[in-house]
């Protein structure tokens, strides 16, 4: 199914806003040491969808907030996400050659530089939040909340823990759905949920709205990874910017491996329905968020 024109232009507009903020925040490619800044920019501006920052902005709008306020914080989430991709591609992890249609960071710059690129991106995410938080009209308490959200989502009990379980489970017997859900939720879902919660916090959500956004983020985050699993089976290499079929070759635990593509699609669709249900008390300000939920399971990359 094709994306509708309004959603496409919303995503394009938001993506260029995020890119503009990142472009002006980061040291230029000739700033010393030039190699690290070139390597950071290489992976960051390789054509990612910017879905996490866009979800953050849409969540901010959904509770009546102004997306300009959330923009620098949303952009910082992309720095952290790009670190995870650069490290995920390393020889010690997935050992990938292509990402976002280009050679992976370590293939381009060498392993040591790629490790440092990831480290620098992760550090820059928190530096950017602190720096932009100081400059913005956001209260220090909110800035601390954002740091807490992002730190706990990406650390050992969040994304890093999920990544470890993903690696440990590869090629192992005894695959079962609850375990797979747990891996997917931690590896991918928690950062997506954090992006949405951060948007909600910046938009001024009260406890009830924030917990509804959290429920939305949990469902949408898991659906995002199921869709990623399906794209590895059914996607097109030239659209995805990386080879397909990698998960199967590596003996990864995925939804299609466990329940088949058709049931995986149904599970993802049910999760999106449930995610949308969490937003039922939200007004039309949440329409962008609703449309992005639809996009999660209908995207081609
Ligand atoms: C701490 C050494 C160390 C490594 C961390 C945590 C981690 C490595 C990697 C994260 C795991 C990961 C890559 C999960 C997959 C999530 C996923 C679906 C990534 C692709 O995201 P998209 O589709 O990609 O948003 P673009 O390119 O559009 O940004």
Examine the pLDDT at 37 and tell me if it is beyond 80: yes
Which atom of ligand 1 is closest in space to residue 50's alpha carbon?
A: 29
Whole-number percent of the chain with pLDDT over 90: 91
* Number of domains the chain is built from: 1
Q: Which helix (H) or strand (E) holds 103?
A: strand 102-103
Q: Beta-carbon neighbour count of residue 31 at 10 Å?
A: 11
What local confidence, expressed as pLDDT, does residue 89 receive?
Answer: 97
Examine the pLDDT at 260 and tell me if it is beyond 60: yes
* Contact partners, residue 176, CB within 8 Å, separation at least 6: 258
CA of 84 to the centre of ligand 1 (A): 5
pTM value is 0.96
The answer to whether residues 159 and 187 touch, using CB atoms and an 8 Å cutoff, is: yes
Is 301 within a domain? no
Average pLDDT over residues 70-84: 98
Closest residue by CA, ligand 1 atom 17: 188
What local confidence, expressed as pLDDT, does residue 135 receive?
Answer: 87
Is 246 within a domain? yes
Q: Which helix (H) or strand (E) holds 98?
A: strand 98-99
Examine the pLDDT at 2 and tell me if it is beyond 60: no
Q: Which domain holds residue 53?
A: 5-296
Mean pLDDT of the chain, nearest integer: 95
**Degrees, nearest 5: CA angle 49-121-289:** 35
By most ligand atoms within 8 Å of CB, the mutation choice from 188, 225, 230 for ligand 1 is: 188
CA of 52 to the centre of ligand 1 (A): 11
Least confident piece of the model among 27-31, 127-131, 276-280, 283-287: 27-31
Q: How far apart are CA 194 and CA 51, in angstroms?
A: 12
Closest to 167 (Cα-Cα) out of 252, 256, 85: 252
Examine the pLDDT at 175 and tell me if it is beyond 80: no
Average pLDDT over residues 16-44: 97
Check which CATH number belongs to the domain holding 61 and give it.
Answer: 1.10.600.10
CA of 281 to the centre of ligand 1 (A): 32
How far the first Cα of the chain sits from its last, in Å, is: 13
**What is the pLDDT confidence band of residue 99, given thresholds at 50, 70 and 90?**
very high
What local confidence, expressed as pLDDT, does residue 1 receive?
Answer: 40
What local confidence, expressed as pLDDT, does residue 50 receive?
Answer: 98
Q: How far apart are CA 94 and CA 294, in angstroms?
A: 29
What local confidence, expressed as pLDDT, does residue 3 receive?
Answer: 67
Residue 103's DSSP bridge partners are 98
By most ligand atoms within 8 Å of CB, the mutation choice from 48, 53, 84, 244 for ligand 1 is: 84
Give the relative orientation of helices 287-298 and 5-25 as an angle to the nearest 10 degrees: 100
Q: Which residues have CB under 6 Å of ligand 1?
A: 48-49, 51, 81, 84-85, 87-88, 100, 159-160, 163, 187-188, 225, 228
Average pLDDT over residues 44-60: 97
Q: What confidence tens digit (pLDDT) does each residue in 178-229 have? A: 999 999 999 999 999 999 999 999 999 999 999 999 999 999 999 999 999 9
**What is the pLDDT confidence band of residue 59, given thresholds at 50, 70 and 90?**
very high
Q: How far apart are CA 74 and CA 77, in angstroms?
A: 5
CA of 284 to the centre of ligand 1 (A): 31
């Amino acid at each position: 199914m094709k994306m509708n024109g309004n959603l496409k232009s919303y995503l394009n507009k938001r993506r260029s806003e995020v890119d503009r903020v990142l472009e002006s925040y980061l040291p230029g490619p000739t700033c010393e040491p030039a190699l690290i800044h070139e390597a950071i920019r290489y992976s960051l501006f390789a054509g990612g969808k910017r879905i996490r920052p866009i979800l953050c902005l849409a969540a901010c709008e959904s509770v009546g907030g102004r997306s300009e306020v959330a923009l620098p914080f949303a952009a910082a989430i992309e720095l952290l996400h790009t670190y995870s991709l650069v490290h995920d591609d390393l020889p010690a992890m997935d050992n990938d050659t292509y990402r976002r249609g280009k050679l992976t960071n370590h293939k381009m710059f060498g392993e040591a530089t790629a490790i440092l690129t990831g480290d620098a991106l992760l550090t820059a995410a928190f530096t950017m939040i602190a720096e932009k938080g100081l400059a913005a009209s956001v209260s220090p308490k909110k800035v601390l909340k954002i740091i807490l959200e992002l730190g706990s989502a990406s650390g050992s009990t969040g994304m890093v823990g999920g990544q470890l379980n993903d690696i440990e489970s590869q090629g192992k017997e005894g695959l079962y759905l609850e375990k797979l859900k747990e891996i997917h939720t931690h590896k991918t879902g928690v950062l997506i949920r954090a992006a949405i919660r951060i948007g909600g916090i910046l938009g001024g959500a009260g406890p009830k709205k924030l917990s509804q956004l959290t429920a939305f983020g949990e469902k949408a985050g898991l659906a995002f990874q199921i869709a990623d699993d399906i794209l590895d089976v059914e996607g097109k290499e030239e659209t995805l910017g990386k080879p397909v079929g990698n998960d199967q070759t590596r003996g990864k635990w995925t939804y299609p491996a466990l329940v088949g593509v058709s049931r995986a699609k149904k599970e993802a669709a049910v999760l999106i329905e449930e995610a949308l249900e969490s937003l039922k008390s939200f007004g039309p300000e949440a329409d962008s968020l609703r449309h992005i939920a639809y996009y999660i399971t209908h995207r081609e990359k």
